């Protein structure tokens, strides 16, 4: 299984103090990578590190602040070493009928879900380009392809993540980078807490999903390890749906 071994590599995962980001960080660590947890709350991040069996680092910055992102990544690269793998996971959700959706909430979604992918992706890629190697994994969603009532702006941002992933691959593959996305289906996470608690929605989801259930965040680890490893050396610009079959079925 040497091609999946991440020993000696460093992975930065944004939004990784909980939920999907935390699960992906744990998976990459178990595959041998040194992981860097990111978020805005340093205390929360340090609490998260206590749940790791091996050493990990903390890099607190706001993914929506271009200058702060650049400074944090440049400083880490200079003082601590290369970031070989980037997982752009930070994201948020806001639900409201589109005709009532507040402009401020729409702007916040744009900054958190898509502008952050540009900011962090560009800052990390500049160093990866110099080394002629690097892995960028963006977290998209089934909403990159589908829509549901009350989340139209979220759907727009996740569609943009999938297309920005294609753009990254198109611009950066020639420098030895592989840029791909994972599109999770419906997973039991803090972001989906309201839906998980809604018995009617859960019953609908179980009926709608061929696998017949919510996903477990640990089920996203395999795709992430694959895209972070040498096993995906000729995979570029792709969005891999990990969704229990929901996008494959009417």
Phi, psi of 181 (to 5 degrees): -130, 150
On the question of pLDDT at 250 being above 90, the answer is: no
On the question of pLDDT at 54 being above 90, the answer is: no
DSSP symbol at 37:
E
Exactly one of 154, 175, 186, 241 is catalytic; name it: 154
Spatial distance between the Cα atoms of 173 and 7, rounded to a whole number of angstroms: 23
Spatial distance between the Cα atoms of 146 and 97, rounded to a whole number of angstroms: 16
On the question of pLDDT at 127 being above 90, the answer is: yes
Spatial distance between the Cα atoms of 83 and 161, rounded to a whole number of angstroms: 21
Where are the domains positioned within the chain? 2-242
Spatial distance between the Cα atoms of 185 and 187, rounded to a whole number of angstroms: 6
pTM here? 0.96
Contacts of 222 (CB under 8 A, 6+ apart): 27
Contacts of 43 (CB under 8 A, 6+ apart): none
| % the chain with pLDDT above 90 | 95
| Half-sphere exposure for 213 (CA within 13 Å, toward CB) | 5
pLDDT tier at 192 (50, 70, 90 boundaries)? confident
On the question of pLDDT at 191 being above 90, the answer is: no
154 is catalytic: yes
Q: How confident is the model over 148-170, as pLDDT tens digits?
A: 999 999 999 999 999 999 999 99
Instruction: Give me the mean pLDDT over the 168-196 stretch.
Output: 94
On the question of pLDDT at 1 being above 90, the answer is: no
CATH number of 2-242: 3.40.50.720
| Half-sphere exposure for 90 (CA within 13 Å, toward CB) | 30
Instruction: Give me the mean pLDDT over the 221-237 stretch.
Output: 98
C-alpha separations of 30 from 100, 105, 218 in Å: 44, 37, 12
Report whether 127 contacts 73 (CB < 8 A). Answer: yes
Question: What's the confidence (pLDDT) of residue 180?
Answer: 99
Three-state secondary structure call for residue 230: helix
């Amino acid at each position: 299984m040497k091609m999946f071994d991440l020993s000696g590599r460093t992975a930065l995962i944004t939004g990784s103090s909980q939920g999907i980001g935390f699960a992906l960080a744990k998976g990459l660590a178990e595959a041998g990578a040194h992981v860097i947890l990111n978020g805005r709350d340093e205390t929360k991040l340090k609490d998260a590190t206590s749940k790791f069996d091996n050493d990990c680092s903390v890099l607190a910055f706001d993914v929506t602040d271009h200058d702060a992102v650049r400074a944090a990544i440049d400083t880490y690269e200079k003082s601590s070493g290369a970031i070989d793998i980037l997982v752009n996971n930070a994201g948020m959700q806001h639900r409201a009928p589109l005709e009532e959706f507040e402009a401020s909430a729409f702007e916040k979604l744009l900054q958190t879900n898509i502008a952050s992918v540009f900011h962090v992706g560009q800052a990390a890629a500049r160093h990866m380009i110099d080394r002629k190697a690097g892995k960028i994994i963006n977290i998209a969603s089934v909403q990159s392809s589908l829509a549901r009532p009350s989340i139209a702006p979220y759907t727009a941002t996740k569609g943009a993540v999938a297309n920005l992933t294609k753009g990254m691959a198109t611009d950066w593959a020639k420098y030895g980078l592989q840029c791909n996305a994972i599109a999770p289906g419906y997973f039991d996470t803090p972001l989906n807490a309201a839906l998980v608690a809604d018995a009617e929605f859960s019953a609908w989801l179980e009926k709608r999903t061929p696998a017949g259930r919510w996903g477990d965040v640990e089920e996203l680890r395999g795709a992430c390890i694959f895209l972070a490893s040498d096993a995906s050396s000729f995979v570029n610009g792709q969005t891999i749906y990990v969704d229990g079959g929901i996008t494959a079925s009417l």
